Amino acid sequence: MICVQPSREPELFRTAASPYRDRMDPFWRDAERHLIRYGGGWTPEIIERAEGSFVHTATGRRVLDFTSGQMSAILGHSHPEIVATVRRQVGTLDHLFSGMLSRPVVDLARRLAESLPAPLSKAMLLTTGAESNEAAIRMAKLVTGRHEVVAFARSWHGMTQAAAAATYSAGHQGYGPNAPGNLAIPVPNPYRPDFTAPDGTFDWRRQLDHGFAMVDAQSTGSLAACIVEPILSSGGVIEPPPGYLAALAGKCRERGMLLIVDEAQTGLCRTGTWYAFERDGIVPDILTLSKTLGAGLPLAAVVTSEEIERRAHERGYLFYTTHVSDPLVAAVGNTVLDVLERDKLDARARELGDHLRAGLLSIKDRHPAVGDVRGRGLMQGLELSTVDGDALGGRITRRCLELGLHLNVVQLPGMGGTFRIAPPLTATPQELTLGLEILDQAIGDTAG
């Protein structure tokens, strides 16, 4: 058992300002004694409730949430229609044996297919992004009869086995070998290009050719799939240039690989279109959804074509989990689609995204410490230009929290100078302006 001396400040607080610094609240003593730490430090506030674009703390503070929870609550916190659905559904049908079906599950599968281009028509409902990526990779390996998987060098697809093996932004050291056959290609980052044309612009075609030349050199001839986010989130909110994903899809076709697009954070209107891959005119072989689909509840999906599903089934595809096809969260997913469709939140994300981006560009113009603004719709990134980006990003994040804004900085070595900004699609222009004003002040107070 870990013992904590009453006079010692909890480790939780060592890198963050907190109203609890000067008094040892039993909550934080218990947190340090009994919680397993699973990533970065805890936000030094006790959250009592959340509503709309705000979370409310035990000290009575109202904090604007520019991360939509874990980049998931696209309808804001405690959306009344989501609350009503959960109350109704949990009282009638919440969980079933995994081989049983209910109307919410079949309805959601049909509606997802209707929202997508052909031939994407078959869906499986799961819980998390990692689980859906695990299921998609497993399906691709079985259908192709191959095992090698390609991903971006700053990818994040989850922490389960195959998803973690395809995650390169963090988490590879100290856990022993991954399954053989996981290969990485360079990230197409126009702000920090590694391949340039004579005029200094990013030469992404040459970079992509180089990446797949390296894949071919390392492959044993068993390339099964390439899994990518259309906008890398944990990797630094990096959006591949127009045309890149179409060219990548071509590389996959040439090699008989399946293309898996992970839209955990970009899917369902956040970027201003229902799906971010639409911009590039491609259709993935397998699409994975999570986060935004459940609007904060644990719901994910794998969507693929009838042909791929049939081939997988004929070969004995097995992904039998405790909460596959659960009716409670499927009902929530249907309500999410109802609200997105009725309120035209794809158009709203475009409009609010323009407002947010204009504000971020204005901040960039005023602060030399800000190097780049990028993203689409209500998924925007702001990268610091300073050499101490990790440290400065942490200080700005803490100052934002003091001023009433929760902002997510990419908490990975070498990427801590990039902020991920993803407010709810239901946020108001006034709330976005408030967040921009706080961020502006925090950068001025910290980097000035």
**pLDDT given at position 412:** 67
Q: Do domains 19-78+345-447 and 93-342 have the same CATH topology?
A: no
- CA distance linking residue 85 with residue 37, whole number of Å: 33
Segments making up each domain of the chain, as ranges: 19-78+345-447, 93-342
**pLDDT given at position 390:** 86
Residue holding tokens 């609240």?
25
Which residues are tagged catalytic?
A: 156, 229, 262, 265, 291, 420
- CA distance linking residue 353 with residue 9, whole number of Å: 41
Cα atoms in the 13 Å half-sphere on the side-chain side of 272: 16
Which residue, 70, 69, 67, 62, is CA-closest to 403?
62
- CA distance linking residue 320 with residue 322, whole number of Å: 7
- Torsions phi, psi of 384, nearest 5? -75, 150
Q: Hey, what are 135's tokens?
A: 């299921």
Segments of the chain scoring below 50 in pLDDT: 1-23
Residue 195: count of CB within 10 angstroms of its CB: 16
Angle 204-218/244-254 helices, nearest 10 degrees? 30
Q: Hey, what are 334's tokens?
A: 């249907």
Q: Hey, what are 173's tokens?
A: 């050291």
The answer to whether the CB of 375 falls within 8 A of the CB of 381 is yes
C-alpha 355, offset from chain centre: 22
**pLDDT given at position 329:** 98
CB-count burial class (<10 Å; 0-12, 13-18, 19+) for 19: middle
The answer to whether the CB of 123 falls within 8 A of the CB of 112 is yes
The answer to whether the CB of 363 falls within 8 A of the CB of 325 is no
CATH class of the 19-78+345-447 domain in this structure: alpha beta
Which residue, 421, 263, 426, is CA-closest to 348?
426
The answer to whether the CB of 273 falls within 8 A of the CB of 231 is no
For residue 379, the SS3 value is strand
Q: What are the CA-CA distances from residue 108 to residues 41, 277, 307, 321 (Å)?
A: 36, 21, 20, 18
The answer to whether the CB of 431 falls within 8 A of the CB of 438 is no
**pLDDT given at position 41:** 81
Q: Hey, what are 370's tokens?
A: 């800000």
The Cα diameter of the chain in Å comes to: 65
The answer to whether the CB of 235 falls within 8 A of the CB of 152 is yes
93-342 has which fold?
Answer: Aspartate Aminotransferase; domain 2 (3.40.640)
Q: Hey, what are 23's tokens?
A: 């008094």
Q: Cis bond leading into 190, ω under 30°?
A: no
Instruction: Identify the DSSP state of 52.
Output: B
For residue 380, the SS3 value is strand
The answer to whether the CB of 151 falls within 8 A of the CB of 184 is yes
